[in-house]
Structure 1
């Protein structure tokens, strides 16, 4: 009895229970699994599964709930996903990234004395992508109706108890929120009082958003009454959002506040169902979205690291940290110069960038000490072509040299760090039929400009464009173009079957944390929960995709558990270190246990991420 009391006491006090090696227990499931950035949204996913929906239905239900909760995104943001289809045994890429509106040109912003499009406000907005992405995924690969999938989000829009994190962000950002009348109406229910944002736990009502979602459901219902099938009815709702009265109010409300959207911008925009990019790492096929995201940088990193015996170095040894840090910098230097929307000229040289031969040449550049001036390489010869931008590569090196001035040591409240780590959310779902979904939606985070009386918060993704080709000739702002974004869901197959599905929030650090989580599992045999909580490190040598697009060459964030002798070794190699207690990032993942026919879920101890399984 005494031992039992002691065990209960230790467990309740936060000490790990016997046999538990992680702060959070791993998830186990046989029928389905739903993991995301907020507990309420994970519950929404479980509700969809309990209605008989598949993993795509559940992912859409979670996405709708996350948008309604302002889980660092809103309904006017963007959605990107990887879906494994068990019927075709293929991985599908969903591109629901919005585009720059009419009139959004480099000259427009330069005339306003801006080096980049702004971080906030109506001029930061690309066209809404998430509603189209959700409805396309649901129509093409789901099984339930839009009404069934939106039901939890609609109930939340009528009023849900807002969590402390979001309520605090609203209060802290109210000086910006007050600049936009429709945002002020939604976010500040106590206007004029000392605290103007909702209180934690207060029922937060979004009537305008509820009416917008109701219009989508009504459009579906009317189409079904007219004899349309399930898929056609969902696309009828899609049409109402992008060409009907919802679009009219989004355009009116955005332009009233100084934005550039036109009805034609929304009507012309379409979700793209694409082929993902893929490399093989030691027998495992790893999938990422195309180069309009930063995802291929992880694939490049894996190609480079395949040339090293990482396992023999030891997890988080000085040699391991140095090698992975350098590989990431080489890949991200290419990201900063070569990635952009493949629908526009010039086309990124992805064949060369993802070739094993190019990776071997890049790997040779890793020296015993940190190189703060590492720049992009020349992948064109590795796809049998001559680089048309050699003259700009020299200018890129000038940019890198300029960024090397000043201190690289980061403080905990450094605004650069806040921008670099800017979060979104992630969604992981899987079911017994074999559907697997990995999503990193974003855009329209607080403080968001709400488009008229729709309740729809607009994206802020325009800031990820550049206005000068010497920074990146592939990502120069142009109307109708998608910016090169940080959002990057991941999926891996082994022996032709799902092996690992994973994603994370946190801006430019996403593919750094995802790379290390993958290596934790593949090279160091960690369980998915161990890998989600493990001590990662971050480089800031690449250009931030936000704000002033700064970089901090040589800076590295390490976990406080890293011992003194490793710190000393890294200091000799030229690193400028800062330390955090938790460095994994808010990772979410599902690992597939084919031996037992079950799922293992992992959700890091970094934030509020949460999962439910059955």
Structure 2
């Protein structure tokens, strides 16, 4: 058995990864995409045109904050599985303070959005689409706050690329075809129909690939923000004050009024007061150490702490000796991720609302050691339950009896004979893009924005597509007492930017799209570099695996106990060993991303960028 596992490991490593470490050897390039290199700056995001927007800002002297805001604005304008009415989560390393801070620009449940409201409509969860799926818009506030607090340029300069695109840009086939596929849902909403379906009544009602896609209402909204900023500057106010004046117009002025009106007209709940009450939060991120490396994540209103919990458990194992992607390695990570995800599914929620999440216990090294005692090393445990972190805070768990019956609450699994259904995977990987940026001054940005993906409900005549993140709430405390919907509350989301520090300096900035996949694949990406010595590009392309055993955060919140997606390159004997351990196997040709990442080469004073070899993610460096 040990010989077979070792051979499996050596075969996979030798076949796919020539490099020994990130220390820049002279082996031939083995990746399908070349790594990015830069000395002065680097920017990577989900669309080539949006990456170009970042490069334009860098070339004009902007810093990483300015460029990341430009890329964020461009991706929203291009509907890269998000829109202007969605949400933004960011980690920023500030070289002046030497600290990592978190930007919480997640919208909140609007007035009237109670569990009883949705239950009375016959729903088990808030809906996937439409105005009743919408939290208040967060991305505009997040962008303007980042720019005002940490950027150097004006809103007019940073929004210029996105405004040019709103005037009209050649739409990509991926987005154009998505619009065509989702046109039945789009037609439920009159303002969405006007924007997305320029050929209404024809066989193809969506734009063609390469057609100039025009968004007049969105352009007018962005112009209002810029006009307000410029008028405020003329009054002698500072750059920051002018940007916040634009912020106020979006959330308290005529734009907010039209968003509320247009949402309510279509059956939604968002009010003008909801818009005015919402604020961006600048927070302390959560952090753990893994072999001396500090890994930062957003707070527990995201799923980010899952990766921190997993690293705490994995630190107790010699992963390298198991062999990369051996059946033993896969089994170890799978079981540990499931332990962490079970905790996520029960304990995570908005810390601004009671009850208080037991994060001190969940992130303690001692809890991690106790948790791994539950692992069955011979078989998959399809009935992994949430743990008990309260004793590690000196408290008694008030939910002990509830946890005993927790697994009986959820929806049945969704699987056909060929693996997870298309609908299951669509919900499991819903939404999101990523933005990564760094500059020679030392600013580092990692963003995972999302919300308002096609088919989005557009709010009135603003051109702003509303978020669909309400569906990540639950309606019954038996499922998760920390994530029950309430007005003003943020849902527990999948969005999870990542930033790692080593020896007091930035080490990695990394993020990915695709819903519940995010932290499990980011974890493997991180281990690829730290444990197996891959370069950042190799790690973005490396064959990963995916657990489907956590409850999904979208749709009807299903899970598939024992569900394991492997890369097609996995050898037959490893497949057989994993099947014998109780896993329900399915396969994909590419399993690693899309991941975008920046590695900091302090030995040579440069950046290395990586972007997965599928999807439209792209970047530039200089």
Aligned residues, how many?
597
Corresponding residue number in structure 1 for 2:435: 427
TM-score w.r.t. the length of structure 1 is: 0.96
Tell me the CA shift for residue 409 of structure 1: 5.7
The match for 1:40 is 49
Deviation, 1:391, is: 2.2
Aligned 8 A contact 1:409 1:555 in 2: no
Query: Does the 8 A contact of 1:420 with 1:508 survive in 2?
Result: yes
What is the CA RMSD across the aligned residues, in angstroms?
Answer: 1.3
Per-residue CA distance 1:276-300 (angstroms, 9 max, x = gap): 0000000100000000000000000
Q: Does the 8 A contact of 1:53 with 1:143 survive in 2?
A: yes
Aligned pairs for 1:148-159 within 5 A: 148-159=157-168
User: 1:101 is matched with which residue?
Assistant: 110
- How do 1:499-510 and structure 2 match up within 5 A? 499-510=507-518
Alpha-carbon shift at residue 365 of structure 1 (Å): 1.2
Per the alignment, residue 424 of structure 2 pairs with 416
The match for 2:529 is: 521
Change (3 A) 1:423 1:410: farther
Match of 1:543, SS? coil
Does the CA contact (< 8 Å) of 1:322 and 1:370 recur in 2? yes
Distance 1:151 1:572 in 2: 57
TM-superposed deviation, 1:399 = 3.2
- Secondary structure of 2:405's match? helix
3-state SS in 2 of match to 1:333: helix
Q: Is the 2:301–2:490 Cα contact (8 Å) retained in structure 1?
A: yes
Q: Secondary structure at the match of 2:300?
A: coil
Alpha-carbon separation, structure 2, partners of 1:507 and 1:490: 15
**1:560 deviation in Å?**
0.4
Q: Distance in 1 between matches of 2:27 and 2:173?
A: 32
1:317-336 matches, within 5 Å, as 317-336=326-345
Query: Matched residues in 2 for 1:403 and 1:184: separation?
Result: 35
The reply on whether 1:394 has 2:404 as its aligned counterpart is yes
Q: Give the alignment of 1:165-244 within 5 angstroms.
A: 165-244=174-253
- Do 2:415 and 2:421's aligned partners in 1 also have CA atoms closer than 8 Å? no
1:590: which partner in 2? 598
Instruction: Determine the structure 2 residue equivalent to 1:120.
Output: 129
Choose which of 542, 550, 555 in structure 2 pairs with 1:547: 555
CA distance in 2, matches of 1:130, 1:397: 35
Listed as ranges, the matches of 1:529-544 within 5 Å are 529-544=537-552
Tell me the SS of whatever aligns to 1:429: strand
- For the Cα contact (< 8 Å) 1:41–1:66, is it kept in 2? yes
Question: How many angstroms does 1:408 deviate by?
Answer: 7.2
For structure 1, the residue ranges without an aligned partner over 5 or more in a row are: 1-15
Instruction: Classify the secondary structure of the residue corresponding to 1:99.
Output: coil
Structure 2 residue 416 is the aligned partner of structure 1 residue 384:
no
Contact 2:232 2:242 in 1 (8 A): yes
Which residue is 1:264 aligned to?
Answer: 273
Q: What residue in structure 2 maps to residue 284 of structure 1?
A: 293
Task: Kindly indicate whether the alpha-carbon contact (under 8 Å) linking 1:426 and 1:440 is maintained by their aligned counterparts in 2.
Answer: yes
Contact 2:475-2:484 within 8 A present in 1 as well:
yes
Partner of 2:317: 308
Q: 1:19 aligns with which of 20, 24, 28?
A: 28
Give the drift of 1:606. 2.0
Q: 2:382 aligns with which of 329, 352, 372?
A: 372
1:439 pairs with 2:447: yes
Rounded to whole Å, the distance in 1 between the matches of 2:478 and 2:620 is 47
Residue 54 of structure 1: aligned partner: 63
Give the secondary-structure state (helix, strand or coil) at the position aligned to 1:371: coil
On the 8 A contact 1:307/1:363 being kept in 2, the answer is no
- Counting only pairs closer than 5 Å after superposition, residues 440-589 of structure 1 correspond to structure 2 as 440-589=448-597
**Partner SS state of residue 548, structure 1:** coil
SS of the equivalent of 1:364 reads helix
For 2:468 and 2:317, locate their aligned partners in 1 and report how far apart those are by CA, in whole Å: 39
Cα shift readout 1:426-451 (whole Å, capped 9, x = no counterpart): 00000000000000000000000000
1:46 and 1:392 map into 2 onto residues whose CA distance is 52
Query: Which residue matches 1:3?
Result: none
The residue number in structure 2 matching 1:13 is none
Shift of 1:411: 3.8
Deviations 1:527-565 (Å, cap 9, x if unpaired)? 000000000000010000000000000010000000011
- Partner residue, 2:74: 65
Q: CA offset at residue 394 of structure 1?
A: 1.6
Matches of 1:301 and 1:408 in 2, distance apart? 30
Question: Retained in 2: the 8 A contact 1:297–1:331?
Answer: yes
Any conservation in 2 of the 1:540–1:556 contact (CA below 8 Å)?
A: yes
SS of the aligned residue for 1:351 comes to helix
Cα distance in 1 for partners of 2:419, 2:129 equals: 24
Cα 1:239–1:407 shift into 2, 3 Å: closer
Say if 1:408 and 1:576, in contact at 8 Å, map to a contact too. no
Q: Does the 8 Å contact 1:408/1:552 carry over to 2?
A: no
More moved, 599-608 vs 17-26: 17-26
1:75 is matched with which residue? 84
Cα distance in 1 for partners of 2:401, 2:485 equals 20
C-alpha separation in 2, matches of 1:202 and 1:605:
26
3-state SS in 2 of match to 1:52: coil
Q: Is the contact made by 2:419 and 2:585 (CA closer than 8 Å) also made in structure 1?
A: no
Aligned counterpart in structure 1 of residue 306 of structure 2, from 293, 297, 319: 297
**2: CA distance, partners of 1:410 / 1:535:** 20
Question: What corresponds to 2:608 in structure 1?
Answer: 600
Which runs of 5 or more structure 2 residues have no equivalent in the other structure? Answer: 1-17, 19-25
SS for the counterpart of 1:56 is helix
Alpha-carbon contact 1:44-1:61 (below 8 Å) kept:
yes
Q: Is 2:82–2:431's contact at 8 Å kept on the other side of the alignment?
A: no
Does the CA contact (< 8 Å) of 2:38 and 2:607 recur in 1? yes
Asked if the contact 1:403/1:553 (under 8 Å) is kept, the reply is no
Distance in 2, Cα, partners of 1:63 & 1:411: 35
Whether contact under 8 Å (2:431, 2:451) holds in the other structure is: no
